[in-house]
Chain A
Amino acid sequence: MIAKFTVAERQWSLVLLVLTALAGLAMAALGAGDAMGVHGFIVLIVSLGLIFVVGGGLFAPEPTEDRRRAYYDDPIKLGLVLAMVWAVIGMGVGDWVAWMLAYPEARFDAAWSSFGRVRPVHTTGVIFGFGGNALIATSMHVMQRTSRARMAGQVSPWFVIIGYNLFVVMAVSGYLMGVTQSKEYAEAEWYADIWLVIVWVTYFVLYIRTLARRNEPHIYVANWYYLAFILVVAVLHIINNLAMPASLTAAKSYSLFSGVQDAMTQWWYGHNAVAFFLTAGFLGMLYYYLPKRANRPIYSYRLSILSFWGITFFYIWVGSHHLHYTALPHWVQTLGMTFSVMLLVPSWASAGNALMTLNGAWHKVRDDATLRFMFVAAVFYGLSTFEGSFLAIRPVNSLSHYTDWTVAHVHAGAMGWVALITFGAIYAAVPMIWRRETMYSWKLVEWHFWLALAGTMIYVFAMWNSGIVQGLMWRTYNEAGTLQYSFVDTLVAMHPYYIARAIGGLLFLTGAVVGSYNIWMTIREVGHEAKARDVPTDSEAGEPAVPVAE
C-alpha cells in the first residue's frame, strides 16, 4: 500500500504523522491525570505505529505512472473492514445495554460499566463507527465510479479514514472514562470535536476535487446526497459543539448555549444528524448499489430531484419535534410539526423511487439476499419516515415522547433502514472492490438476512408495545380523576419487553457476526475475478435529456 505512494507523498505523510505524534505527546504530557492524557497516548501510539509503517516503505521504488489510470480502492477496503468491526462492537454493546435494562446487575462492578456511560458507546459505535465508516468508504467507491475518475489524492483518503476512526475511538473511550458533553450524538469533548472538523474538511475537499475531475458532464444523484451529507453534517457539528473548555489541558467544557436555546440547537443538530447522516448519506448508498445490483434504471430522475431538494430543505426545520410541549416556545413546535408532515412527501418519494426501480427485478429480490437487504431497507425507510412524521404531530408525541416508542422508531430506522442498506451495499461492494467473483457463501448472506430481519421485527415490536403501554400507563386516570399508576408500576410492566428486545438484538448481532465472517472469508479464500478491469474511462453517453421533455 505504501508502494503506491509517490516518494513525495511518503515524505508528506511522515511529516503529518510526526505532527500528530507531537500533538499526541503534548496532550499526553499536559493532560496527564485527565482523560485527555489518555487520549494523548492513544494519538501518540497510533501515530508512531503509522510512522513505522510509512517509514518502512520510505525507500521503495517510485510507483509507475499507470496507477493513475486505475481507481484507488485501498483505503476503501480499510473503511469497509472497520465498518464491520464497529458493527460488531456497537451492536454488541447495544445488546449488552439492552440486557442491563432487564437485569441491571448484568455489568461489572466498576464505574465505567454503568448504563449511562455505556449507552453512548452503543449509539456512537453504531452511528459513527459502523454507519460513518460505511458512508465514507462507499462514498469513495461511488464518487470514483460515477465520476469515472480516480480519487483526487492518495494521502488524504487514508487521512480521512484513519483520522475519522481516531475520532470515534476518542469518543467512545472517553464516555467510558466519563468524558462527555451530554449532547446526544455529539457527546465527544471539544478536542475530539476539533479533530473531527479537520478530518471532515479534508473529506469535503477530497470529495469536491474528485468531482471536479469527473469525466461526466453531470453529477449523479448518489453524489448529491453524499455531498449534502458531508456539507450539512459539517455545519451542524461545528455549531452544536461550540463550547468553552474549562482548561486547555483537560477535557471538560461547557456548551456555549444554555437552556432553551441550547435545547433547540441540540435538536436542530440531533434531528439532522438523523437526516443528513442516517438518511441522506445512506440514500446516496442506495442510489448506487440498488440499481447496480438490480441492473435496472432508476425509476424517475425527476422524482429524484424532487425528493433531494425536499429532503435538503424540509428536514432542517423539524428538529423542534423533539421538544414538543416543553419550555420551547409553542411557535417553534408548530413549525417543527408542520414541516415534519410535509417532509413525508420527499421521504416517501425517495422510498418509492427505490422500490419502483425494482420493477422488473422482483425475481432477483426473491433470489438474491443482497438485493433483498436493500429492498427491505427501502421498505423500512418508508415505514420509519411515516412513523417519524406521525410521531412529530404534537398530540401523538405527547404519548410517545420519553417512552420506548421513540426507541422503536429509532431502531426501525437504524436497524431496518440504516443497517440493512449498509449490509446490502457491503455485500454488493466487497466483490467489486476486492475483485472477487462472488461472496464466499451466499447461504451465509441468506442467514444474515433472516437473522437481521427477525431481530429487527422482534426489537421493534417489543419496543412499540412497551412504549405505548408505558405512555398510556403514565397518563391513565381512574374514575376519581387521579393518576392510576405510579412510576414504578410502569417500570415493572416494561420488564418482559426488555427481555424480548434483548433477544431480538442478539439475533441481529449474530447476523452481523455471520456477515463479518463471510466477508473475511471472501477476502481470504475466494478467487480473483477474471472479468474486464474496472478503470476510469471516458463517458460513452453524452448529455442526459433535459427533464421537462419526455
Chain B
Amino acid sequence: MIRWLQKLYYPIQAGHYRLEKHSIGLTLAIIFAAMIGGFVEIAPLFTIDETVEEAPDMRLYTPLEQAGRDIYIREGCYACHSQMIRTLVDEVDRYGAYSLAVESKYDHPMLWGSKRTGPDLARLGGKYSDDWHVAHLIDPRAVVPESVMPHYAFLAQRRLETESLPARLAALGKVGVPYDAAMIENAERDARGQANPDSDDAGGVAERYGEATQIRPFDGDTARLTEMDALVAYLQILGKLTDAASRIETAAIEADMEAAQ
C-alpha cells in the first residue's frame, strides 16, 4: 500500500520539478489546484433546489427594518451575536427552532456570526418589549448587571438618515431582493410611517409589506425618527419574516405524537 502511494508520488514530484522552472506554469497550476474545491462547494449551492427551502409567506424587510439592519452592521453587533441556531438539541432548547436557509434568503450579507459573546438573536423578535430594548441599548448594565455589552445611548439621539433609503432598496433590488418600484419610491415615507402609527404614512406600510407589519413608535417617541427606532424595529422582526421554521417544528412534533400512538 505504502509502496503504491510512493509510486504514485513520483510523477507528481517529477511534474513539479519541471513546473518549478516556469513561473507562469507554476502560476497557472496554483490557480487550478486552488480553485477546484471552491467551485465544487459553492456552485451547487445555486443549482440544488433543496438548499433553500420554500417559504411562500416570506416577507421583505421594510425600509425601517433594513435601515436598522444597516445600523446593526455598522455597530458591529455581529461581532458578539450570532443569528444562527444550529441543529443541536441544546440550542433548539434555549433559542427555539433551528434556523433555516430560507430565513436569511434576503440577507445581503448574512449575519450568522462566528462568536457568541452575547446570546443568539435569530428568534429575538417579540421576546422583549420595545421599551426594554431601548433601555438595554442605552445602558445594558442598568437592566442586566452582568452584561459586557457596550452602551449605545447615542442611537436614541441621532436622527435616522432616510434620504438614501430609496437608493439602498434599489441596490438590494439589483442583487435580488424583490423590492418593487412603489416600495423603492415610498421608502422614506414608509420608514417614517412605520414608527408613527398615527401618521398618514402608516397606512402605506401595511399595504406594501403586509398586515402583520409591526407599526409602532419603537423608541417611544413619535415626534422623532431616530436610529433607535430603526434598530429596535429590526430586532423585533428577527425570526419573524417567515413561519417556515415553526411549521417544520410543529410538523415534527405531530409526526412524533402520531408515531407514539
A178 near B30 (CB under 8 angstroms)?
no
Is the Cβ of B88 less than 8 Å from the Cβ of A332? no
* Residues A104-129 near B (CB distance < 8 A): 104, 107, 111, 114-117, 119-120
- Near A by CB (< 8 A), chain B positions 156-174 give 164, 167-168, 170-172, 174
B38 touches A268 (CB 8 A): yes
Verify A253–B171 contact, CB threshold 8 A. Answer: yes
B38 contact set on A, CB distance < 8 A? 268, 316, 319
Most buried by A among B78, B79, B100: B79
> Considering the chains assembled together, what is the distance between the CA atoms of A482 and B79 in angstroms?
29
Q: Number of contact residues on A: which range applies?
A: 35 or more
* B146/A488 in contact, CB under 8 A: yes
A181 to chain B: which residues have CB within 8 Å? Answer: 73, 109
Complex CA gap A264/B80 in Å reads: 20
Chain-A contact segment, one of B16-24, B123-131, B195-203, B253-261: B16-24
Instruction: Please tell me if B188 contacts chain A, counting CB pairs below 8 Å.
Output: no
Do B104 and A491 have beta carbons less than 8 Å apart? Answer: no
Cβ contact within 8 Å between B114 and A322: yes
- Taking a contact as CB atoms under 8 Å apart, the answer to whether B109 and A244 are in contact is no
Looking across the interface, which residue of chain B has its beta carbon closest to that of A186? Answer: B109
- Contact A491–B94 (Cβ < 8 Å): no
B171 partner, pick from A115, A244, A258, A488, beta carbons under 8 A: A244
User: Does A521 make an interface contact (CB < 8 A)?
Assistant: no
Query: A160-168, A224-232, A530-538: which lies at the B interface?
Result: A224-232
Residues in A neighbouring B177, C-beta threshold 8 A: 258
Let me know if A332 and B110 touch, CB within 8 A: no
Q: Which of B79-105 contact A (CB under 8 A)?
A: 79-80, 82, 84, 86-88, 90-91, 93-94, 98-105
B175 and A244 contacting across the interface, CB-CB below 8 Å: yes
Check B109 against A313 for contact (C-beta < 8 Å). no
Check A227/B27 contact, CB under 8 A, given A254-B171, A268-B41, A403-B116: yes
Residue-wise interface mask of B (145-158) relative to A, using a CB-CB cutoff of 8 A (1 in contact, 0 not): 01111111010000
Are B110 and A254 in touch, CB under 8 angstroms? no
User: Tally of A-B residue pairs with Cβ under 8 A?
Assistant: 263
Pick from A235, A247, A255, A276: contact of B164, CB below 8 A: A247
C-alpha spacing A252/B109, complex, angstroms: 12
How close is B121's CB to chain A, nearest CB, in angstroms?
A: 11
- Tell me whether B117 is interfacial, beta carbon within 8 Å: yes
Query: A402, B33: Cβ atoms under 8 Å?
Result: no
Instruction: Let me know if A53 is at the binding interface, CB within 8 A.
Output: no
Measured between beta carbons, the chain B residues less than 8 angstroms from A316 are 34-38
Give chain B nearest CB distance to A327 CB in angstroms.
4
Residue A525 CB within 8 A of the other chain: no
A-side interface mostly: helix
Contact B26 A227 (CB under 8 A): yes
Complex Cα–Cα for A314 and B37 (A): 8
Beyond A107-B150, A180-B76, A262-B108, whether A402 also contacts B114 by CB under 8 A is yes
Could you say which interface size class chain B belongs to?
Answer: 35 or more
Give per-residue flags for A160-193: 1 if the beta carbon is below 8 A from chain B beta carbons, else 0. 0000000000000001001111111000000000
- List B contacts of A263 (CB < 8 A): 104, 110, 112
Instruction: Report Cα–Cα, A120/B78, bound state, in Å.
Output: 11
- Which of the residues A182, A306, A475, A546 comes within 8 Å of B111, measured between beta carbons? A182
* Chain B neighbourhood of A254, CB < 8 A: 108-109, 168, 171-172, 175
In the assembled complex, which residues on chain A have CB atoms less than 8 Å from the CB atom of B109? 181-183, 254-255, 257-258, 262, 266
Contacts A101-B117, A104-B150, A327-B99; A260 near B45 (Cβ below 8 A) = yes
| A329/B51 contact (C-beta < 8 A), A104-B141, A258-B176, A491-B147 known | yes
Interface residues of A (CB under 8 A from B): 100-102, 104, 107, 111, 114-117, 119-120, 175, 178-184, 208, 211-212, 217-219, 224, 227-228, 231-232, 235, 244-247, 250, 252-266, 268, 276, 302, 305-306, 309, 312-320, 322-329, 332, 335-336, 339, 398, 401-403, 406-407, 474-475, 477, 482-483, 487-488, 491-492, 546-548
- List 19 A–B pairs whose Cβ atoms lie within 8 Å, in order of A's numbering: A104-B147, A107-B150, A111-B152, A115-B150, A116-B77, A182-B109, A183-B109, A227-B26, A232-B31, A258-B107, A258-B177, A260-B104, A309-B16, A313-B33, A313-B37, A314-B37, A326-B84, A327-B103, A488-B146
Q: Which residues of B are in contact with A by a Cβ distance under 8 Å?
A: 9-10, 12-14, 16-17, 20-21, 23-24, 26-27, 30-31, 33-38, 40-42, 45-46, 48, 50-52, 70, 73-80, 82, 84, 86-88, 90-91, 93-94, 98-119, 140-141, 144, 146-152, 154, 164, 167-168, 170-172, 174-177
